Amino acid sequence: MNIFIEKLHMTDAEDLFNFELENRIYFEEMVPTRGDEYYNPETFKKRHETLLEEQVKGGSYFYLIKDKDSSILGRINLVDIDESDKIGYLGYRVGKAHTGKGIANKALKILVETVTNEDVKQIKAKTTTNNIASQRILEKNGFERIGTSSEEFEMNGQRLSFVYYALNISSY
């Protein structure tokens, strides 16, 4: 499947809200919930506007993963970029109907190629111990596993920890 990533725009708000709502249960199986308030249309709109403001200021890049028809398949972000150390933090999610098709892997590859020109030297990521698919995607894209948190938390009846990864762009 051919995909591309596109920076978040104001016009994406409604489609993105529908994407998040449609995939809420699926996402909450793998990552901590964003809470009920996130799915309130007015709250979502305000948060969307805040993300756009943050993107304009710099320090964060918010992308949508889209197919040839510009349908949203997922999202991928590089946030909280430390300007002095040139380190950013990765986040991504692909809708349930689009998993297992290599979309997250392709999107991450595109993101890394894109931000290589944005003066980012290292990307850090974390996932949960039960999210093996995400761990594989990170590793396929050259991320090195740097540790697992000793602290556990409960999510969906499971005791989990965070697994931490890093990618040094200069060696990519």
pTM of the model: 0.87
> Which strand (E) or helix (H) includes residue 29?
none
User: Which CATH fold topology does 3-124 show?
Assistant: Aminopeptidase (3.40.630)
79 and 123 in contact (C-beta within 8 Å)? no
Q: Strands 87-94 and 122-128: what pairing?
A: parallel
Q: How far is CA 90 from the centre of its chain?
A: 6
> Which strand (E) or helix (H) includes residue 152?
none
| Domain spans in the chain, listed from the N-terminal domain onward | 3-124
Please list the pLDDT of the chain residue by residue as tens digits (172 residues): 799 999 999 999 999 999 999 999 988 877 767 888 888 999 999 999 999 999 998 889 999 999 999 999 999 999 999 888 889 999 999 999 999 999 999 999 999 998 876 678 999 999 887 888 899 999 999 999 999 888 877 777 778 888 999 999 874 4
